[in-house]
Amino acid sequence: MSTPSAGANIPSKHVRVPDLARFKVDGHKIAMITAYDATFARLVDQAGVDAILVGDSVATVMQGHTNTIPVELDEMVYHVSAVARARTRALVIGDLPFGSYQVSSQQAVESSVRLMKAGAEAVKLEGGLAMADTILAISRVDIPVVGHIGLTPQSFHRMGGHRVQGRTSGHDAGGRERLLDDAHAVEQAGACAVVLEGIPLDLAAEITSKLSIPTIGIGAGIGCDGQVLVLHDVLGLSETTLTFARHFADLRGQVVAATQQYVSDVRAGSWPDEAHSFH
Ligand code: KIV
Is residue 8 pLDDT above 50, yes or no? no
Strand pairing class (215-218; 91-95): unpaired
pLDDT, tens digit, 9 for 90 and up, residues 210-234? 999 999 999 999 999 999 999 999 9
19: pLDDT strictly greater than 70? yes
Residue 241: band (very low, low, confident or very high) from pLDDT cuts 50, 70, 90: confident
Q: Which of 33, 36, 67, 68 to mutate to test the pocket of ligand 1 (most atoms within 8 A of CB)?
A: 68
- Which residue out of 52, 92, 195 has the highest number of ligand 1 atoms within 8 Å of its CB and is therefore the one to mutate? 195
197 is catalytic: yes
Question: Residue 7: CA atoms inside 13 Å, Cβ hemisphere, count?
Answer: 6
pLDDT band for position 12 (cuts 50, 70, 90): confident
Least confident of 12-26, 69-83, 232-246: 232-246
Residues 6+ apart with CB under 8 A from 203: 166, 176, 179, 180, 220
Nearest CA residue ID for atom 4, ligand 1: 55
* pLDDT for res 6: 47
Q: Is the pLDDT of residue 3 over 60?
A: no
Q: Left (φ > 0), alpha (ψ -120 to 50) or beta: where does 166 sit?
A: left
Give the mean model confidence (pLDDT) for residues 39-57: 98
Question: What is the Å distance from ligand 1's center to 125 Cα?
Answer: 10
Q: What's the CA-to-centroid distance between 259 and ligand 1, angstroms?
A: 29
User: Closest ligand 1 atom to the C-alpha of 58?
Assistant: 1
pLDDT tens sequence across 160-173: 988 999 999 999 98
Average pLDDT over residues 103-129: 98
Residue 13 CA, distance from chain mean position: 21
Distance (Å, rounded) from C-alpha 166 to C-alpha 149?
A: 10
16: left (phi over 0), alpha (psi -120 to 50) or beta: beta
What domains can be seen in the chain, in order of their start residue? 17-248 (3.20.20.60), 250-279 (no CATH)
Of 126, 187, 197, 206, the active-site residue reads 197
Task: Assess contact for 45 and 240: CB atoms under 8 A.
Answer: no
What Å distances lie between residue 230 and 1, 33, 51, 60, 221, CA to CA?
25, 6, 12, 11, 16
DSSP per-residue string spanning 210-230: H-SS-EEEESS-TTSSEEEE-
> Above 60 in pLDDT, residue 267?
yes
Which residue's CA is the nearest one to ligand 1's atom 5? 55
User: What whole-number distance in Å separates Cα of residue 228 and Cα of residue 211?
Assistant: 18
Residues with CB under 6 A from ligand 1: 34, 53, 55-57, 95, 195, 197, 218, 228, 230
- Does the pTM exceed 0.85? yes
Residue 218 Cα to ligand 1 midpoint, Å, equals: 8
